[in-house]
Structure 1
Amino acid sequence: MMADQTVYSTTSPVTNERLVHMARLLLKQWDVEAKAIEVIQSGQMALVWKVYTDDGPKCLKRIHRPKKKALFSIYAQDTLAKKGLYVPRIIETRNHRLFKQYGPFLFVLYDWIEGTPFDLNVHDDLIAMIEALAHFHEQSVGYEPPPGVPVFSKLGKWPKHYMKRCRQLEAWKQLAKLDRDDPFSRLYLAEIDRFIEKGEEVLQQLLESYYETWVEQMKKRPSLCHQDYGTGNSLRGEDGNVWIIDLDTTAFDLPIRDVRKMMAPFLFETDEKGKTKADIVLEAYEDVRPLTKKEKKVLFIDLLFPYDLHELAVEKYIRNVPITEAELAEAMAYEQAKWEEIERRLDSL
């Protein structure tokens, strides 16, 4: 299911042998004969093996998600594949199940998609990726999980997510005060209040926008969001089609959540003609799935929220990753520039 961009496992020979043996035992649940098995990803909760068979390569994967969320994405992927979307087919077990559970973990066997990763610096690659995303959103409308499978939805939850992040940014001030000798923490204490205030303003803008009305409409016939779309989760297959892989985080949400994540890194990056790549992303998406002005306003409001700064603070104060003062200053400068750029776009609607 993965491809040339895969980071191969660097486990020791002993660990690698143990994982291959584990895969062979697991594969007894499927009607496949493994000629060879390669450990592709390990060292985390997610495990991925490439299984070579006479019927082509397969991907055996341990899903790194709670069972309730994993079931939603597994059945969604199966439904989309059967509808003809370019997502990997799930291979049923001997007992005609889509997965095998051992302990708290779900294991799934997929077709392995051979292909090449996209280069976001190549105009045609960027367009192809975004158009595929729009088709994914469009064609996933109407998916209903089977009875007994919990619904994983983020529809209507953005305000709570904004409030949670603002509270976290406020709470981390206490951690920063305990480490005033650290340049990162000193800068955080000096500047973070204005970013918290901006986050609260964005929350108010969201509540006054078309967001809640749109959510209520989407609840009637929701579409899926990938939630982690990018070059690592899309491939140009050997058949020339764009394949979307790794749907583990898939959930019901407004489709612009995926669009926002694709646009944000490109707000200030331009092509050879001077057009921002963020505009190219939005135009390519709308060529397939047009957005109304009200919907685009919700998209721009979501872009205003200081996600990047929050993620940097998570790295520092939750994951204890050493982050420099310069990195924090760069993130703050980006957020400031982003506000000006997005406000300009909002004014032009």
Structure 2
Amino acid sequence: MSNQHDELDQNEDLENDIDGEEQPELTPEMLESLQLLAEKLIVNWDFEVQSIELIQGGQMALVWKIMTENGPRCLKRMNRPEKKSLFSIHAQDYLAKKGAKVPGIIPTKQGSLYAKQGPFLFVLYDWIEGRQFDITVPEDMEWIMKGLAHYHLDSVGYKPLSGIPIFTKLGRWPNHYVKRCQQMQSWKLLAEKTPEDPFSVEYLKEIDYFIEFGKEVLGKLQESHYPEWVAQCKESPNLCHQDYGTGNTLLSNDEVWVIDLDTTTFDLPIRDLRKMIIPTMGDTGVWNDEVINHMLKGYESVNPLTPEQKKVMMIDMLFPYELHEVVREKYGKKNDVLAEEFTVAVEFERSKVKEINRILSEL
């Protein structure tokens, strides 16, 4: 596939920043302007509008609920550049037409999957009524993990149309490890400039170990089944959602619906698993075998993993992602972060490594 289209990597830091943006307080003038924008855009589709309700009005994320004679629809401004948006728009259209549980895209009068206004693309979807999941409830956790497995399986076969760049992270994990280690090294310079700051004191005390450990994990990854699995997956890749979780899933009529595919990319399916499992553990501050076993049981009831694939997943989980994220908040995003948060992250990473090494020895 790489010979047919340009392959581009998504800027993960930008994705995280956008996904985590704070919603501004909208003034009456802003609300009126957004109402007029929706009214102007909706004429691109062929139906009678009964009402328009702004659901989300962030700096980038705009979502309206459009009531029509055929029921509710969702009008959304894509919050990615056009090339990235086209990849995900066509991926969602492929999935929906295949019967996967993602909202279908409603074409414009001209038959296009989107309307364009200035530099932005706007897409109209089926509106999915349902409830969000609570992953502290075992039944919900099982549901959501099965939904992820179905998403991965259903996405196999998606091939972007000619001219649409491919977005992929296949084979690029080593680069991501190196980048994070370099960031943690460069942030030492910022910490050294604030020697009175308790966070910086703790950071300088601990971080060299984790930088070196990150490099060790890189070596383990390169010696694992990872390169071979990547080569296999490139022949018939699946999509990773990259932002899968309670905010982007709904339970409707005993089926898991996946929404907001903006950041979807080609990658090994365990990327989404890691992004579900590690934050879930990190939120509690402790590794919990019962939780991870329940998550994997739900996923593997639909899409089983081989022992070698599980080893790759566990090696990836060794990398100090949670620690890096805490430090990025402090030095990358310039937010106030307490030294205690760093200490908790350090303790979690150390305990996590011990438990994962035990699991690896049993595989």
Q: TM-score, structure 2 length as denominator? A: 0.90
Match 1:124 to one of 135, 139, 144: 139
Taking a change above 3 Å as real, the CA distance of residues 277 and 268 of structure 1, as seen in their structure-2 partners, is: farther
Taking a change above 3 Å as real, the CA distance of residues 340 and 142 of structure 1, as seen in their structure-2 partners, is: same
- 1:242-295 C-alpha deviation (Å, 9 max, x unpaired): 10111111100000101111221344899xxx9521111111111111111110
What does 1:75-94 correspond to in 2, within 5 Å?
Answer: 75-94=90-109
Give the conservation status (yes or no) of the 8 Å contact 1:8–1:39: no
Residue in 2 that maps onto 1:177: 192
What does 1:110-259 correspond to in 2, within 5 Å?
Answer: 110-237=125-252, 239-259=253-273
Q: Which moved more, 1:160-169 or 1:257-266?
A: 257-266
Match 2:352 to one of 338, 343, 347: 338
Instruction: Give runs of ≥4 in structure 1 deviating > 3 Å.
Output: 7-10, 265-270
Compute the displacement of 1:200 (Å): 0.5
Secondary structure of residue in 1 paired with 2:337: coil
**How far apart, CA to CA, are the structure 1 residues paired with 2:262 and 2:283?**
30
1:312 aligns with 2:313: no
> Match for 1:102: what amino acid?
Q
Taking a change above 3 Å as real, the CA distance of residues 142 and 268 of structure 1, as seen in their structure-2 partners, is: same
- 1:9-31 C-alpha deviation (Å, 9 max, x unpaired): 85222211111111110111111
**How far apart, CA to CA, are the structure 2 residues paired with 1:65 and 1:276?**
37
**How far apart, CA to CA, are the structure 1 residues paired with 2:76 and 2:34?**
12
**How far apart, CA to CA, are the structure 2 residues paired with 1:275 and 1:337?**
12
1:59 aligns with 2:60: no
RMSD between aligned residues: 1.7
Residue in 2 that maps onto 1:26: 41
Give the conservation status (yes or no) of the 8 Å contact 1:269–1:276: no
**How far apart, CA to CA, are the structure 1 residues paired with 2:120 and 2:335?**
28
Give the conservation status (yes or no) of the 8 Å contact 2:282–2:348: no
> Match for 1:204: what amino acid?
G
Residue in 1 that maps onto 2:302: 288
Compute the displacement of 1:36 (Å): 1.3
> Match for 1:68: what amino acid?
K
Residue in 2 that maps onto 1:72: 87
**How far apart, CA to CA, are the structure 2 residues paired with 1:163 and 1:143?**
30
Q: Which runs of 5+ in 2 are unaligned?
A: 1-21
**How far apart, CA to CA, are the structure 2 residues paired with 1:249 and 1:268?**
23
**How far apart, CA to CA, are the structure 2 residues paired with 1:186 and 1:39?**
46
Match 2:317 to one of 289, 299, 303: 303
**How far apart, CA to CA, are the structure 2 residues paired with 1:266 and 1:48?**
28
> Match for 2:239: what amino acid?
L
Taking a change above 3 Å as real, the CA distance of residues 275 and 165 of structure 1, as seen in their structure-2 partners, is: closer
**How far apart, CA to CA, are the structure 2 residues paired with 1:67 and 1:269?**
34
**How far apart, CA to CA, are the structure 2 residues paired with 1:266 and 1:23?**
37
Give the conservation status (yes or no) of the 8 Å contact 2:76–2:124: yes
Residue in 2 that maps onto 1:103: 118
> Match for 2:244: what amino acid?
Y
**How far apart, CA to CA, are the structure 1 residues paired with 2:194 and 2:350?**
25
Secondary structure of residue in 1 paired with 2:301: helix
Secondary structure of residue in 2 paired with 1:179: coil
Q: Percent identity?
A: 53
Taking a change above 3 Å as real, the CA distance of residues 286 and 323 of structure 1, as seen in their structure-2 partners, is: same
Q: TM-score, structure 1 length as denominator? A: 0.94
Give the conservation status (yes or no) of the 8 Å contact 2:278–2:322: no
Give the conservation status (yes or no) of the 8 Å contact 1:90–1:109: yes
> Match for 1:46: what amino acid?
A
Match 2:293 to one of 261, 276, 279: 279
**How far apart, CA to CA, are the structure 2 residues paired with 1:110 and 1:200?**
44
Secondary structure of residue in 2 paired with 1:116: coil
Residue in 2 that maps onto 1:4: none
- 1:124-153 C-alpha deviation (Å, 9 max, x unpaired): 111111111111111211110111111111
1:264 aligns with 2:266: no
Compute the displacement of 1:43 (Å): 2.7
